Structure 1
Amino acid sequence: MNTNEILERNSAKRTRCMVYTRVMGYHRPVESFNLGKKGEHKERTCFNESSKRHVAAL
């Protein structure tokens, strides 16, 4: 069973959630962004602190 089949089968159990991001020091819902800002948000990468520590220790 692939991901789409699983999502379709369980669609009645799913609820919509609000995704917030920090913008200029405060939190704002992503759904209120304009089209360009939403595209920029999708391109962001997550910061992984543990991997950065190993690089700094060298």
Structure 2
Amino acid sequence: MNPTPVTLNDAERQPCEIWTRVMGYHRPMSSFNIGKKGEFHERRFFVERSAGQAPARQAV
């Protein structure tokens, strides 16, 4: 079974609004000033380890 590719005309498309958490509440990125937009694009994602996976500390 070969899926048929979906093609849309520009008139059929709609923008996808991105929301993100800033200063404790969620806001659409379209309302950000240029500085906040830059900060958003510089973000790095990470996965925090659980307490059971933390490396053992060495005695001093």
**TM bin (shorter chain):** 0.5 to 0.7
TM-score (norm 1): 0.58
Larger Rg: 2
CA RMSD of superposed structures (Å) = 2.7
Aligned sequence identity (%): 51
Change (3 A) 1:11 1:40: farther
| 1:19-39 deviation per Cα after TM superposition (whole angstroms, max 9, x unaligned) | 111112110001110111101
Segments of 5+ residues of structure 1 without an aligned counterpart are: 1-8
Deviation at 1:43, TM superposition (A): 0.2
TM-score (norm 2): 0.56
Segments of 5+ residues of structure 2 without an aligned counterpart are: 56-60
Note if 1:53 corresponds to 2:39: no
Identify the structure with the greater helix proportion.
1
